[in-house]
Homo-oligomer: A and B are copies of this chain.
C-alpha cells in the first residue's frame, strides 16, 4: 500500500472529497489541521492529507466510499480526548500510506428523545455533556460521566467503550447502547438504530463496533438508554487504613444500600496531597491525614435528607466497627462539588507535579489490595525511591496507577524508559487475572504490549474479525490490532 502520491492525485482526491462535503467540510491548511493531528496530551503527532468534516451520515458514507476506492486510510475522530493515541493518525514515518482524519464533530444533532421508552438517539459528534443535559431536560438520566465530558463526543465514547465514574451502578458505555448506525469500511450504511430492550434475532453486530476504536467502521449515530433521574444524592469522603478496608466497606455498603451506591473512588494519601499542593482552592476536609481515602456517592429517588440520613447511619456503624477512621458527609451541593473536585483534579495535579508513567489497569475487585501491594513492592525493589500515585474506581476494580520519581532530574531519566516499569505493573495485573487497559483502550500506545498479555488465539480471532470487515485495512490502521 505504500505509494508515491503525486500532488495531482492528492489534488483530485481533495476535490472529490470537497464535492461531497463542501469546502466547509475540508480542512487542508496545515495550521488548521494541526489540532486534529495531535492528541490532547501532546504525545502523538500524526500526518494526514486532509481533515474531513462531514455533516451527515450520507456524507460520511460518500467520503468512506471515495477513500475505499482510492485506498486512502481513515482515522475517525470525535472530541480527540483519548489517552492512547487512538484518534490521531500515525506519524508519517510509521504510516503505511495515505490517510485522512474523519472528524464527526459536525454531526451533533440529537435526533430523538423518547421519554416513555427511556431512549435518546444521538449523532456521533454530540458532546457527552449535551446528551446529559438533554436527558435531564426530559427528567431522565444519561449516566455516562467522565472527566472529559465537556469536550469528548459520544462517538468516541462508544468507540472506546468509555467507563468513568458511574460504572459500578450503570455499567460501561457498552451497557448503555441499544442501537447503532455505522458506516462500514466499504461505505455502506448499516442501520442498526433499534430502540429495543429485547431483540434476539441473530448476532448482535453493534457489539463489534463498540470499543473497536474505529478500526471496523465509523459509528455515526446511536440509540442510548436513559434512566430515571435520581432526585437524591449523598456524598462522603472517608479516611481509611487500606485498600482492603475499601473492598470490605464496599461489600457492606452494597448489602445495606443496594444499588444506591453509584461511585466508590479510592485515592492514596499521596494522590490527595498532590491535589492539595497544586490545585488552588482545595483543602483537606478531614482533620488529619489518612493512608487512603474513599469518595462515596449514593443516589436515589425521593429526598436527599433521607438518603443522607441512611449514609450517615452506615458511616457511623462503619466507624464503630473500625472500618473507617474518619468521614465527612457533604451537607450542600457546594460541599459535594468540593469533594468531587479533589477526585476530578487528580490528573491535573499530577500533570503539574511532573511527568509520570501511567497505567490504567483493572483486576477483580477482590484482588485490588493484592495488586496494589504486589506491584508497589516489586517497583520499590526495582526502583528504590519510586513514587506511586494510585487512585481510581475501586468499585470496578479499576486503578489508575502512576509511577514516577520525586526528584525531577531522576524522573526525567526514569520516564524515558517505561518498559521495565510497565513490565512489572502489567505482569502483576496479568497474574491477578486483570486487564492492562481498563477504560482507555489500546490505541497506538498499547497495541504492541497487548500481544504479551492476550493469548495468541484471541489476537488471531481479533485479526480475523478485522480482515472480515475491513479487508483492505483502511479503518484506523495501526490501532488496536
Chain A contact residues, CB within 8 Å of chain B: 114-119, 139, 160-161, 163, 167-168, 171-172, 174-175, 184, 188, 190-192, 194-205, 207-208, 210-212, 216, 227-230, 247-248, 250-251, 254-260, 300-302, 362-367, 393, 395-398, 433-442, 446, 450, 453-455, 457-459, 461-462, 464-469, 480-481
Contact = CB atoms under 8 A, between A and B. Distances in A.
Task: Determine how many copies of this chain the complex contains.
Answer: 2
B200 A437 contact: yes
The 4 closest A-B pairs by CB, nearest first: A207-B207, A116-B366, A258-B301, A199-B435
A397 B196 contact: yes
Contacts of A301: 255-258, 260
B434 A196 contact: yes
Nearest to A435: B199
Contacts of A250: 116
Given A161-B200, A194-B435, A256-B302, 8 more contacts: A116-B250, A117-B397, A167-B198, A198-B362, A199-B438, A201-B446, A202-B211, A230-B258
Contacts of A200: 160-161, 163, 211, 435, 437-442
23 contacts: A114-B364, A116-B366, A118-B254, A118-B365, A175-B175, A190-B461, A196-B362, A196-B438, A197-B362, A198-B397, A200-B440, A201-B446, A201-B453, A202-B459, A202-B462, A203-B211, A205-B458, A205-B461, A208-B208, A227-B259, A259-B259, A461-B469, A465-B468
A205 B455 contact: no
Nearest to A168: B197
A260 B190 CA distance: 36
Contacts of A438: 196, 198-200
A249 to B, nearest CB: 11
Contact of A439 (B119, B198, B255): B198
A171 to B, nearest CB: 7
B204 A210 contact: yes
Nearest to A367: B117
Given A196-B363, A196-B435, A202 B118 contact: no
